[in-house]
Amino acid sequence: MSNYILYLLMLCCGIVMAVQPSINARLARIVGVLESSCISFAVGTVALLMMVLLVGRGSLRGVAGASWWELTGGLLGAFFVTMTILVVPRIGTAAAMAAIIAGQLATGLLMDHFGLFGGRHIPLDTSRMLGVALLMAGGWLVFRRAAG
């Protein structure tokens, strides 16, 4: 698969990340914040289980060989979904996404620099730091507008 297709897929993920909190927040009005988060994960779990059964190539039994910290992704995902359900109705989608993206990029930069979790080592340099600083400045401008 070409890198252009991979980039396009990630662009689509960005669209989904912007839309999902608003959908979940609407559901939360009916069922509650934690309940909405739980339902979101349950629907996602059923969808993924169907995909695993239909086209999965790995082995769920392999989980027995995983370290404890390799199983925390779901916990982190639950935190993310629950916080977006809570925050988006209060500060707006754009401000929430700006904060999320700034946090993701800054963390990603550090993860690349140190090659954390077996990732590719990409040294920190001035242009990458400037990119994060500019994104954070843009995020602050979006948030400032939402808070004012």
The answer to whether 60 touches 52, Cβ cutoff 8 Å, is: yes
C-alpha span between 108 and 10 (Å, rounded)? 15
If you count them, how many residues does the chain have? 148
- 8-41 pLDDT, tens digit per residue, is 999 899 899 999 999 999 999 999 999 999 999 9
**pLDDT tens, residue by residue, 43-93:** 999 999 999 999 999 999 999 999 999 999 999 999 999 999 999 999 889
